Amino acid sequence: MFVQISVDLKFNIFYFQLKFEGTVGTAPTYQGDIALDDIFVSQGRCPSPTPTATPSPCAIRCKNNTCVPANKLCDFVNDCGSSDDTDEKKCGSCDFENGLCGWNDTSSGVFAWHRGRGGTPSKNTGPSTDNTKKPVEEAAVTNLTVNFGPQHPAAHGVLRLVLELDGETVERADPHIGLLHRGTEKLIEYKTYLQALPYFDRLDYMSMMANEQCFSLAVENLLNIEVPERAKWIRVLFGELTRVLNHLLAVGTHALDVGAMTPVFWFFEEREKMMELYERVSGARMHAAYVRPGGVAQDLPLGLMDDMYEVIRKIPQRMDELEEMLTNNRIWKQRTVDIGVVSAKDALNLGFSGVMVRGSGIQWDLRKAQPYDAYDKVEFDVPIGINGDCYDRYLCRVEEVRQSCDIIIQSLNRMPEGEVKVDDAKISPPKRSEMKESMEALIHHFKLYTEGYQVPPGSTYTAIEAPKGEFGVYLVSDGSSRPYRCKIKAPGFAHMSGLHELSKGHMLADVVAIIGTMDIVFGEVDR
């Protein structure tokens, strides 16, 4: 690393000589490296270059554009004019870009250095021109490496970023993941298909029933069964309720990250009402284990649909209040517009999905492209962005909340009567009333919850449009009651890997806004 040093010479004589000496290493070898670059002498003359027979056409130009050849530099004659003595002021200054400027090595007559390689260092003649090709002001500045997280309020969990900064500009962002790794995929191999279901609640723990829905669809594909119509509509109902839950938290915490505190408090009030709906239908506020292979765990309690309607019909009004506060707020726009821009081409190449790809203008939604459950029977729009920045992704999430509320209203109005589990005693457990009257029903219940059901050999990849993007499960069965392999595709993993591309060239403060717009949850990233 180059270090800039200034020396004030406290004497007043006409002729003097400057000598630079440096000692490197330790006795007796004194091996090491030292370099001298960019000498600038102000208000002095040292040394005078040796005149050449053929003067160079133009060594410097004066302020009045007069050309001064090299043999007239430092000759103690003002060649630039009475008001300008540039040719004499620059005596002794040298950047070594075009030669040695009259400086020489007093010890041996040549610039030399020892390059240590092998058993015996060899002496090599040094370069006649500068090899650094940049001034000392740039050479003295080195990039700073900073750890962002994992103990950071804007890390959204256990994110650790190693940031390389040039001042406050991000040159490189290197995510380090795995701090929440629990070996989920391996644990699933030792559980029955029903016992494996609760692990999916703990992946993206903000979108619990969406994860369950994907795994259940994969198992149903291997079993080649069709769930009852009412179960499909219940899955759509709670799938969209989960999307609203997720997006309210994503937008609220994103705003909180960049300094807007109000929305997150508004949305936690609304989320609390929705969590109560979760609890009423499954018994748990978060880890519901409600959507299961073959249907859902139990039918909707009496009065839940009416209460859900009352909760959902107020959400669009809350989104209007949010937009009134944020959408045209100049500080919010300064923090999000043209920040974290990703083009449509880059979004596809990086493997983005969900809002991260729709914000770049690509209208891709698995609920439309590959409908599952009852999504082919509902009507909704897919919002897309234009610029692919944080602001467009914010607008997409806000509109998706409105569309999800509309889907929930449609599901409530069109909810059919009927069973909520597939009519197969080998897959669905019997009702409690049957177990009290039938020994066979009791045996079936015992066998299902201890040994599980056998799934025919085969493999399937099933994906759904989860709130954060494409959540997929690749499931392999060997014919036993336990999965041979369960590979989970989490959208946050691909989004996290693209963090460097989105944050390079931005300021350090913008990294917080970019992490917020990705909506990362490390339960699914680390697995």
What does the pLDDT profile of the chain (527 residues) look like in tens digits? Answer: 567 777 777 666 555 667 777 766 666 665 666 666 677 666 555 554 444 445 556 767 777 777 877 667 666 677 777 666 666 665 666 666 656 666 666 665 445 444 444 444 444 444 544 545 555 555 556 778 888 878 777 777 788 888 888 888 888 888 888 888 988 989 998 999 888 999 998 888 888 888 999 999 999 999 998 899 999 999 999 999 999 999 999 999 888 888 888 888 888 888 888 889 888 898 888 888 888 898 888 888 888 888 999 889 888 888 888 888 888 888 988 888 888 888 888 889 988 988 899 988 888 889 888 998 889 899 888 998 888 889 999 999 999 999 999 999 999 998 888 888 888 878 888 888 888 888 888 888 888 888 888 889 999 999 999 999 899 999 999 988 899 999 999 988 889 888 888 888 888 888 888 988 888 888 888 88
Contacts of 274 (CB under 8 A, 6+ apart): 241, 244, 245, 311
Show the CA angle centred on residue 477, arms to residues 474 and 479, nearest 5°: 170
Largest Cα span, the chain: 119
Q: Which of 9, 36, 8 is nearest to 22 (CA)?
A: 36
213 alpha-carbon distance from chain centroid: 26
Contact 37, 139 (CB under 8 A): yes
- pTM of the predicted protein model: 0.71
Q: Alpha-carbon Rg of the chain, whole angstroms?
A: 35
For the 188-424+456-507 domain, the top CATH level (class) is: mainly alpha
Please give the structure tokens belonging to residue 350. 């990086």
**Alpha-carbon distances of 377 from 215, 261, 308, 364, 410, rounded to whole Å:** 22, 39, 20, 18, 9
Q: Give CA–CA dist 17/10, Å, rounded.
A: 14
Please provide the DSSP assignment of 19-68 as one string: ------S-TTT---------B---S---PPPPP-SS--S-SEE-TT--EE
Compute how many other C-beta atoms are within 10 angstroms of the C-beta atom of residue 289. 18
Contact 393, 355 (CB under 8 A): yes
